[in-house]
Structure 1
Amino acid sequence: MTDQETIAELARRVGTLEAEADIRRLQARYMFLCDTPCPECGVHDDARRIDLIMELYAEDAVWEGVGEYYDNQFGRAEGHAAVRSHFEAFWGQKKDPSLVLNAHYLTSEQIHVTGDTATGQWIHMQPWLHSDGTALLRSSRLNNTFRRVDGVWKISRTRTENVFIAPLNKNFAEDFPSASALMRP
C-alpha cells in the first residue's frame, strides 16, 4: 500500500468514526429532549422542546411504532409536519394523570455507516411515573436510520418496537425534581 493509499484509508476510517460519534450524540440528544422533566437549559415549554426535537429530523423523516403492541399505539408519521404532529399529540395536550418523570437509558448500540447514510440499533429502557403515582417500566428496540443533510447528520427514520412493559410499584420514585436543575443557565 502506498503512502497516499494509507492516508486515504485512514481518512475514510476516521470519517466513519466521526460519523458514528455524531450519530451517537444525535440519538442521545433526541432521548435527552424526550425526558421529563425536560433537562435542556432554557426550555420551559413543550413547544420549544418539540422545535428542538424537529431540528434533529430530516424533512422527509418517518416516526413509527411497529410490532404487535406499538402498531396500534403509535402508528406511523411520514414527513416533518406529521412527525411534529405526533410529538404535539404527546406533549401538546394536558393529561390527567400527568407524566412527572420519564428518563431514557440506551444500551446495546450498533451503528453502521455507509457514506452519507447509516443505521443504528439500540435497546432502551424508560421508567415512567405519573402524578397519581402509577408507574411503569417500558423497554423498546430502536431500529433507526440517519442521513447526512448539508454535512449534518439527521434522523431519517425512528422505528420503535415494544420489548416489554411492566408495572412498577406505585410511587416507586420518592425523590425526583419537579424541574431539571440543568434548565437553569
Structure 2
Amino acid sequence: MTKDVLQSLEALAKRIETLEAEAEIRRVQARYMFLCDTPCPEAGVENDSQRIECILDLYTEDAIWEGVGAYYDNQFGQRVGKAALREHFEAFWGQKRDPALLLNVHYLTSEQIHVRGDEADGQWVHCQPWIFSDGSSLLRSSRLNNLFRRVDGVWKVSRTRTENVFVAPLGAGWANNVPDRSVLMR
C-alpha cells in the first residue's frame, strides 16, 4: 500500500471511531433520561433502588452531578463521586411526595457532541412534563452541558451539569390516559 492509501485508511478509521463514540455517548445520555422517567420504563427495574443502580452504572467513579444558575444552584447544588450521586438520587426517589409524581418524561433536543480521544462533551436542551396526583402539572426545560470519559473502553458520564431555562405550570386536563406503569419494554 502506498503512503497516501495508508493515511486515508487511518483518517477513515479515526472518523469511524469518532462516529461510534458519538453514538455511544448519545445512547448513554438517552439511557440516563429514560431511567429518570416516571413511571420507569426499563424492563426488569422493579423499584427505585434498582433504578438508581442502573443510573450510577452510567457514571465514572469521580463523577459530578450539579445544578447551576440562579434557580438550580439552590435546588440541586453539586455532588461529587458515586456515593454522593447515590445520596442525591435516593433523596429524589426516596422521599414521599405529596402530591405524588405520576408522570415525568424527558425529551432531548439541540444535540451537540464533541469527541476528543477518550473524552467528550455534549450539550442538549431538554423538556419534561410533570403530572402530579392532585391534577397539577408543569413543564420544565433545562440546558445540559455534560462531560464523558471512556473508561476501560466504555463511555461514561463524568459530569452532569444542568441549568434551568424555565418552569411553567400547565393547565389541568392538558393530558389524559396517563399510565401508572410502562409495559413497552416488558
SS at match of 1:42: coil
Number of residues paired by the alignment?
Answer: 184
Query: What value does the CA root-mean-square deviation take over the aligned residues?
Result: 0.9
Q: How far, CA to CA, are the matches of 1:173 and 1:131 in structure 2?
A: 13
Asked whether 1:179 is paired with 2:181, we answer yes
Q: How far, CA to CA, are the matches of 2:94 and 2:185 in structure 1?
A: 20
Q: How far, CA to CA, are the matches of 2:173 and 2:37 in structure 1?
A: 18
CA shift, 1:171, in A, is: 3.7
Q: Which residue of 2 aligns with 1:94?
A: 96
User: Per-residue CA shift, 1:99-129, capped at 9, x if unaligned?
Assistant: 1000000000000000000000000000000
Kindly indicate whether the alpha-carbon contact (under 8 Å) linking 1:64 and 1:76 is maintained by their aligned counterparts in 2. Answer: yes
CA shift, 1:57, in A, is: 0.3
Q: Which residue of 2 aligns with 1:34?
A: 36
With normalisation by structure 2, the TM-score equals: 0.97
Q: How far, CA to CA, are the matches of 2:27 and 2:79 in structure 1?
A: 23
Kindly indicate whether the alpha-carbon contact (under 8 Å) linking 1:129 and 1:171 is maintained by their aligned counterparts in 2. Answer: no
The one-letter amino acid of 2:84's match is A
CA shift, 1:92, in A, is: 1.1
Q: How far, CA to CA, are the matches of 1:47 and 1:143 in structure 2?
A: 26
Equivalent residues in 2 for 1:1-185, closer than 5 Å: 2-184=4-186
Deviant stretches of 4+, over 2 Å: none
User: Per-residue CA shift, 1:14-43, capped at 9, x if unaligned?
Assistant: 000000000000000000000000000111
User: Per-residue CA shift, 1:130-159, capped at 9, x if unaligned?
Assistant: 111111000000000000000000000000
The one-letter amino acid of 2:180's match is S
Q: Which runs of 5+ in 2 are unaligned?
A: none
